[in-house]
Chain A
Amino acid sequence: MKANKIPIGPFHPLLEEAEYFELTVDGETVVDIDMEIGWMHRGHEYISEMKTFTQSIYVVERICGICSTSHPIACVHAIEDIDNIEIPLRARYIRTLVGELERIHSHLLWIGLAGHFIGYDTLWMWAWKYREPVLEMFEIISGNRNHYGMMRVGGVAKDIDPGKITELYKHLDMIEKKMVMVAKVVRDDPVLRSRFKGVGVLTHEAAVAYCATGPTSRASGVPWDVRRDEPTDAYDLVDFEVIVLPNGDVYDKAVVRVLEVIESGKIIRQCLEKLKTAQGSILNNVKEISPGEGIGRYEAPRGEVFHYIRSDGTNRPIRHKVRAPSFVNIPTFTASCKGIPIADVLITLAAVDPCYCCTERSIKVIDQKHGSQPIDLLKSSREKTERIRREIHGN
């Protein structure tokens, strides 16, 4: 059969960001995929080199609207790495707290979108509903629901009022309870299982070869997490587990994320507890940056954010390199999309956590164990969701 090309994007009603994918298909099977990027290129590295070190933090905060604190954290780590600048204990807990809140809201955003991509809008609305209190926590802490402006070289910009900690606990209690429910839905729901399990497998070898990071690689059994491997801020002072799963399919990527959300809740609880007693300054006074070079990184929700800064002793970086996790995760599509049906491509692309939509799909299957009785997956899913809801709420 003759191979055909199917273009997706760059500007397409189903894509939420401008990217271009060209599928080569043989019938329903994808035999090759080509990717093109550049429509979102804004020259941040060049702009940053025109700004002072402090202004650069604000510039990189605007690289991504979702992980808008991961880039600033990696940026200040890179600057602090030049002079081995220490930061106060209280600031370490605040940085960790903000970073983990961001992980929860980003993963919830992805879980909702993943549901939406496969036409499961109930999951989308639930996940985004429970993301809302996380944004309210950001507002309590920083005054902003996004772009928090919290990071500074040598510490953080704003302290957390002790009187607000009780309010943050209330939100956290509710979020943690709901996250247990969402985790159950993602792990056990028959619709999600049938659409995610065994789909778009990224093998361990391919994840290593493409240098993938974050949940994309941890779902393929690659056990690395910057928070544990090179602990900065308060990550060496809190207990948490790095979630690693072996199969590399969309299902494992989803489960890694929902379990990470629960771990983030544990970290936030520990940080809030420590903030009650860890008093003192939140910002060391850093007057100048020496000539030299520094590497800063942070485990963003999508994987390792990497910043490299070279200083010549003035108040501006002479080189500021930024590498976002999607830059190394998107090329893994070459490995994960070949050989799968066209209908599975978009959820496979989405599993890496860039933002774009997918087409709706619903199927019916025959239960071989019980003869030819068809199973209505949608009905089954609704029953399961209702049962979990009753378990949580007790009615």
Chain B
Amino acid sequence: MAEIEQFLKDMGGKITNKIEKKKRLYFNVTNDDLQDIADYLFNKMGCRLSTATAMEMYHGIEILYHFSLDKTGQYFCPRIVIKDKKNPKVNSISSIIEGAIWIEREIFDLLGVEFIGHPRMEELLTLHHPGTVKQPLRFREGA
């Protein structure tokens, strides 16, 4: 597909661990390159940010962004792996995509990942709910 080829040509040097499936392209990026990739996908290619999925794995906390190129139905999914599980931080893309503001706040709320440069880094779902479990999607002993 021409869009994938062009993306790989322009951004291929910044991605690793590429997995290509039917209408899906998963790949890893570093924290330093995340904003460049987001800017390219959103502003240059015209992708829409569907959402981002964060999950705690044994090797770190993964954040998988889901960019949809709606004119073709193709998904581009950059993945960030944060090794420091005690103090997870990653660059915010909300200055590039306003739609990312709530998405990043939700991840901060449910997994405790801090997004550097976010305009309002506070809980989204549990802000005024005292007594709720903090960061409910993190591993816990006995959970």
Contact = CB atoms under 8 A, between A and B. Distances in A.
Q: Are A and B genuine complex partners?
A: yes
Interface of A: 36-38, 41, 43, 45-46, 81, 84, 208-213, 224, 226, 229-231, 293, 295, 297, 304, 306, 308, 310, 318-319, 321, 323, 327-328, 330-331
Contacts of B102: 327-328, 330-331
Given A41-B126, A45-B137, A230 B50 contact: no
26 contacts: A36-B127, A37-B124, A37-B125, A38-B123, A38-B124, A38-B125, A38-B126, A38-B128, A41-B129, A43-B136, A45-B137, A46-B136, A84-B21, A210-B99, A211-B97, A211-B99, A224-B71, A226-B73, A231-B73, A304-B50, A306-B51, A308-B51, A308-B53, A310-B55, A319-B55, A323-B50
B7 interface: no
A43 B98 CA distance: 25
A323 B49 CA distance: 12
A46 B24 contact: no
Say whether chain A's binding surface is mostly helix, strand, loop, or mixed. Answer: mixed
B83 interface: no
B66 A84 contact: no
Contacts of A231: 73
B115 interface: no
Question: Which 7 A-B pairs give the minimum distances between C-beta atoms?
Answer: A230-B73, A211-B99, A224-B70, A321-B53, A323-B51, A38-B125, A319-B55
B80 to A, nearest CB: 15
A231 B55 CA distance: 28
Nearest to A49: B137
Contacts of B124: 37-38
Contacts of A230: 23, 73
B101 A229 contact: no
Contacts of B48: 208, 211, 213, 224
Contacts of A46: 136-137
Contact of B129 (A38, A306, A323): A38
Nearest to A213: B48
B66 to A, nearest CB: 7
Contacts of A209: 97-99
Interface string B115-133: 0000000011111110000
A8 to B, nearest CB: 15
Contacts of A308: 51, 53, 64, 66
B86 interface: no
Contacts of A213: 48
Contacts of A306: 50-51, 66
A393 to B, nearest CB: 42
B75 interface: yes
A67 B50 CA distance: 18
B26 interface: yes
Contacts, number: 80
Interface residues of B, number: 34
Nearest to A308: B53
B24 A81 contact: yes
Interface in B74-114: 75, 77, 97-99, 101-102
B72 interface: yes
B106 to A, nearest CB: 8
B9 interface: no
Nearest to A82: B21
A41 B106 CA distance: 12
A211 B104 CA distance: 14
B22 interface: yes
Interface in B4-26: 21-24, 26
Contacts of B71: 224, 229
A304 B53 CA distance: 16
Contacts of A212: 99
A229 B128 contact: no
Nearest to A10: B128
Contacts of B22: 84
B26 A293 contact: yes
Given A211-B49, A229-B71, A308-B66, A295 B125 contact: no
B132 to A, nearest CB: 8
Contacts of B101: 331
B137 to A, nearest CB: 6
Contact of A229 (B24, B51, B72, B123): B72
Contacts of B24: 81, 295
A110 B129 CA distance: 30
A331 B51 contact: no
Contacts of A293: 26
B68 to A, nearest CB: 8
B51 A321 contact: yes
A226 B69 CA distance: 11
B65 to A, nearest CB: 11
